[in-house]
Chains A and B, each alone.
Chain A
Amino acid sequence: MEAASKGKAPLPNRLGIKGWAWAGRYKIERYLYTLHRITGFGLLFYISIHLIANGFRLGGQESWESLMNFMGNPGFKIGEYLVMAAFIIHALNGGRLILQHLGFTLGKPKPPIYPYVDSMRRRRPLTWILLALIMALALYVLAEFVLEVVE
């Protein structure tokens, strides 16, 4: 379809990365999509640091213990907790995605009768239960970390 004026191409209008990040007024699954990406990045970043840190093992006990002293920093402890939380979110949400990507737990197609209820909305209670499980695990891990720091 040509633009109204001769030779003028239609103006590009893609949302770009903002379309990934901003979930706005969409529902919980869209937010989980963004969270899955963020936790994925976080875990990748952690894995790189973890692999580099493991390399210090090759330098023997002294090299390892000096690294562990450096990593005793409170900043690293908070980072460790965030990594645990990211792992819990990414793993449990990933489990949900694997099941749903293969068509399980979404139900069968139904002729649409108004008011329309799509499969995401039908299965939303399960998604909320999964989120509650994620929150419970994340809070449990947080409690463990706080106790460890306090001790």
Chain B
Amino acid sequence: MEQLTFKVQRYDPEKDKKPYIQTFTITFKHGMTVLDGLIYIKENVDNTLSFRSSCRMGICGSCGMLINKLPMLACHTPIEELHTDKIEVKSLPNFPIVKDLVPDLTPLFENHKSIKPYIIQNMEEVEKPTAEFMQAQLQLQEFVQFAYCVKCGLCMAACPTVATDKHFLGPQPLTQAFRYCADRRDAGAKERIKETDVPHGVWLCHLAGACSEACPKGVDPALAIQLLKRATVADGFRLTRKKAQPSVAPPLEQKKPKVAVPEFTIKKPGAKP
């Protein structure tokens, strides 16, 4: 393909009543991503085009857009992988549009804040820290997948419940609620379950699986939400085992003694045998 047709959603709140599609034609270059195409359009064709981007390498989560009817990160989407020369780019659905391709992610951040996305622990260690909390590799693996979330909002755009229910927490906050509940250093599971076990909470997820499909970082929100449901059922029927307090790393003096270095087998010339 030599020429690409970009059908970009435009919306200027000062001039337009509703969004419309504007078509741009640009030359394809091998390795180009959708973000590269948008930057080219902004720099060479129409500098009023507005969109968010930052890292351009799929880690900041800024450039979430609806590309050919699926929510994707523009920087993470090579044009060649779309297998078409017609690229339709719209603002992320289920979020209000600020301008052109810029969504208002405030609902995501507000819902995320409401589930208390931080370690809640009542130990004196938290007030007067002496060392780090110990955590075994297997304990970390219970939740680390869900810690890779970059808050891009693609899962919220894909979710059918978020499409109709403005009070629903959404896949991202529910995933982070489970991420903290599963963390052995955390003692706030009951508080978080109170926030998620509500009419517009975790039970409005019906496992459509679109969130996991849309996630660009492999976080698998669908799995986290179902595990949160399991934790909620255990809590609801008082089947949860009390979490042991996390242990703190021992002070340096209590480290194991160093293993003695064995004698060198090859002696230096002139050294005593």
Q: Do chains A and B touch in the complex (CB under 8 A)?
A: yes
Residues of A participating in the B interface, judged by any CB pair closer than 8 Å: 1, 3-5, 8-20, 24-27, 29-30, 33, 36, 97, 100-103, 106-114, 116-121
CB contacts (< 8 Å) of B176 on chain A: these are: none
- Does residue B60 face the partner (Cβ distance < 8 Å to A)? no
With A29-B207, A101-B229, A112-B145 in contact, do A106 and B223 touch (Cβ < 8 Å)? yes
Of B39-47, B186-194, B209-217, B265-273, the stretch lying at the interface with chain A is B209-217
A116 near B210: Cβ-Cβ < 8 Å: no
A33 near B106: Cβ-Cβ < 8 Å: no
Of B95-103, B126-134, B253-261, the stretch lying at the interface with chain A is B95-103
Bound complex: CA of A9 vs CA of B13, how far in Å? Answer: 8
Of B24-32, B114-122, B160-168, B241-249, the stretch lying at the interface with chain A is B160-168
A119 near B93: Cβ-Cβ < 8 Å: no
Bound complex: CA of A15 vs CA of B222, how far in Å? Answer: 20
B91 near A13: Cβ-Cβ < 8 Å: yes
Query: How big is the B interface, by class?
Result: 35 or more
- Does residue B104 face the partner (Cβ distance < 8 Å to A)? yes
B105 near A119: Cβ-Cβ < 8 Å: no
Instruction: Pick 15 A–B contacts, CB within 8 A, sort by A.
Output: A8-B14, A10-B103, A11-B18, A14-B162, A19-B93, A20-B163, A30-B209, A100-B207, A101-B226, A102-B233, A103-B226, A109-B145, A112-B218, A117-B218, A118-B223
A13 near B103: Cβ-Cβ < 8 Å: yes
A33 near B96: Cβ-Cβ < 8 Å: no
CB contacts (< 8 Å) of B89 on chain A: these are: none
Bound complex: CA of A71 vs CA of B93, how far in Å? Answer: 46
B94 near A112: Cβ-Cβ < 8 Å: no
Bound complex: CA of A118 vs CA of B155, how far in Å? Answer: 13
Bound complex: CA of A25 vs CA of B105, how far in Å? Answer: 24
Give the residue name and chain of the A residue nearest to B178 (CB): A109
Bound complex: CA of A119 vs CA of B227, how far in Å? Answer: 12
CB contacts (< 8 Å) of B19 on chain A: these are: 11
CB contacts (< 8 Å) of A109 on chain B: these are: 141-146, 220, 223-224, 227
A110 near B206: Cβ-Cβ < 8 Å: no
Q: Whole-angstrom distance from the CB of B231 to the nearest CB of chain A?
A: 8
**Top 9 A-B residue pairs of the complex, sorted by shortest distance between their CB atoms:** A19-B163, A112-B218, A116-B218, A10-B96, A29-B209, A103-B230, A118-B212, A15-B163, A33-B208
Q: Whole-angstrom distance from the CB of B7 to the nearest CB of chain A?
A: 16
A102 near B220: Cβ-Cβ < 8 Å: no
With A8-B14, A33-B207, A103-B230 in contact, do A14 and B94 touch (Cβ < 8 Å)? yes
Partner of A20 from the list B11, B160, B222 (CB cut-off 8 Å) is B160
- Does residue B69 face the partner (Cβ distance < 8 Å to A)? yes
Partner of A10 from the list B104, B217, B233 (CB cut-off 8 Å) is B104
CB contacts (< 8 Å) of A16 on chain B: these are: 163-164
CB contacts (< 8 Å) of A26 on chain B: these are: 70, 158, 208-210, 213
Bound complex: CA of A14 vs CA of B104, how far in Å? Answer: 12
- Does residue B219 face the partner (Cβ distance < 8 Å to A)? yes
Q: Whole-angstrom distance from the CB of B257 to the nearest CB of chain A?
A: 34
With A11-B97, A103-B229 in contact, do A27 and B213 touch (Cβ < 8 Å)? yes
Q: Whole-angstrom distance from the CB of B166 to the nearest CB of chain A?
A: 7
